[in-house]
Structure 1
Amino acid sequence: MSDHDHKTVSLEAGIYCDDLPVGTRFQSKKRTVTETDLVSFVNLTWLTEELFTNTDPADRAGMGISGRVVPGGLVYTFAEGLVAPSFQSSGMAFLNADLDMRGPTFVGDTLHVQCEVIEQRISTRPNRGLVRTRNDVVNQRGETVLSYTPLRMMRVRPAV
């Protein structure tokens, strides 16, 4: 995120496209990743990589990473789960995103998402626009573990 003084919006009221000029920032609530989250995600996706499923200490030592690391896909879905409710009344479509894994996430890490609007334009179609944000998923140590740039189609605020 840049150090410029930009508008910050509240996630509580619902956000529309026209509420989000370039430079607007917002932050999600926090969520701790649990062992149950990891096991449920691995079982749901059948992502049976030993890195996520084998807890034998002798085997884990040979994997080169200590702790219960979680898949990047789980980190991304947590991030969307933390951010998406803000668009409940205005979101129309998730169009695309670039995604960059920046570091490992472990069971027990507490994550939140810091967002900054990097692109916004009202569409030529009525009552909608496009918003791209840079979303940084940050752990309790202040480390960015994932960055992604979703482009969303959103409604504009209804006329009163």
Structure 2
Amino acid sequence: MSTADESNALETVGLGIPFEGWTVGRRFRTIGRTITEADITNFVCVTGMLEVLFTNLDYLEHHSLIKGRLAPGGLVYSFAEGLLMQSVMQHTGLAFLGMELEVKRPVFAGDTIHVECLVQSARLTSRQDRGIVSALNDVINQKGELVLQYTAKRMVKAGDPMASIGSNK
């Protein structure tokens, strides 16, 4: 989607983006997150992905075609979603409606990822207090390489995301 220089020039987001902020063509990036050995171990244990590629360092060193402590694509996707949740969905996200995903490169323990987002479509629903947005999410590593790409469709609140804070809504 972009070069490293363009990536650094993108707006870094913080609090949730209401529907009105999801304008077609808008681009932004999240903060970064380093994937650790503990993250990989915890993820594969919790999910049951107890495959030798993720659990056996001797196998990785001596038999695998991929060298290094490999992170499952599901973990990379989950971390990407977490980065988006903490930055653009706070107080505005209503529902995750679907996605198309493609793993482009392996991610290893010690890699730092961030997400670059491009809004592809946005429309209000018939209720007018929410909208449906579709965004292309590029997960980029510390070398500027595209490691995972997915298009996500979400339902988000329209209006001021802070309006219901402190109320019983």
Fold match by TM threshold 0.5? yes
Residue 28 (structure 1) aligns with? 30
2:81 is aligned to 80
**Alignment correspondent of 2:142:** 140
Counterparts of residues 17-96 of structure 1 (less than 5 Å): 17-56=19-58, 60-85=61-86, 86-96=88-98
How far did residue 88 of structure 1 move? 1.3
Q: Say whether the 8 Å CA contact 1:9–1:24 is kept in structure 2.
A: no
- 2:128 matched to which residue of 1? 126
Q: 1:95, 1:151 within 8 Å by CA — same for their partners in 2? A: yes
Residue 36 and residue 67 in structure 1: after superposition, are their counterparts in 2 closer, same or farther (change >3 A)? same
The one-letter amino acid paired with 2:85 is: A
Whole-Å Cα distance in 2 between the matches of residues 53 and 45 of structure 1?
Answer: 13
User: 2 CA distance for matches of 1:24 and 1:143?
Assistant: 21
Distance 1:47 1:61, change over 3 A: same
1:11 Cα deviation from its structure 2 partner:
1.9
> Matched residue of 1:56: which SS?
helix
Give the secondary structure class of the aligned counterpart of 1:137: strand
Provide the rounded CA distance (Å) in 2 between the counterparts of 1:54 and 1:2: 35
Distance in 2, matches of 1:34 and 1:9, equals 26
- Residue identity in the other structure for 2:65: G
Listed one character per residue, the Cα deviations across residues 32-58 of structure 1 (whole Å, up to 9, x for unaligned) are 00000010001101111101100116x
Contact 2:15-2:89 at 8 Å conserved across structures: no
Q: Is the 8 A contact 1:117 1:131 kept in 2?
A: yes
CA distance in 2, matches of 1:110, 1:10: 16
Write out the 4+ residue segments of structure 1 that deviate beyond 6 Å after TM superposition: none
- State, as a whole percentage, how many aligned pairs show the same letter: 45
The number of aligned residues is 156
Deviation, structure 1 residue 17: 0.9
Aligned residue among 107, 111, 119 for 1:105:
107
**Offset of 1:2 from its aligned partner?**
6.8
Distance 2:101 2:83 in 1: 17
Aligned-pair CA distance for 1:60: 3.0
Structure 2 unpaired stretches of 5+? 4-9, 164-169
Please say which of residues 143-152 and 10-19 is displaced more in the overlay: 10-19
- Asked whether 1:155 is paired with 2:157, we answer yes
Could you say what the CA RMSD is over the residues aligned between the two structures, in angstroms? 2.1
Normalised TM-score (structure 1):
0.90
CA contact (8 A) 1:109 1:139 kept: yes
Structure 1 runs not aligned, ≥5 long: none
| SS of match in other structure, 1:151 | strand
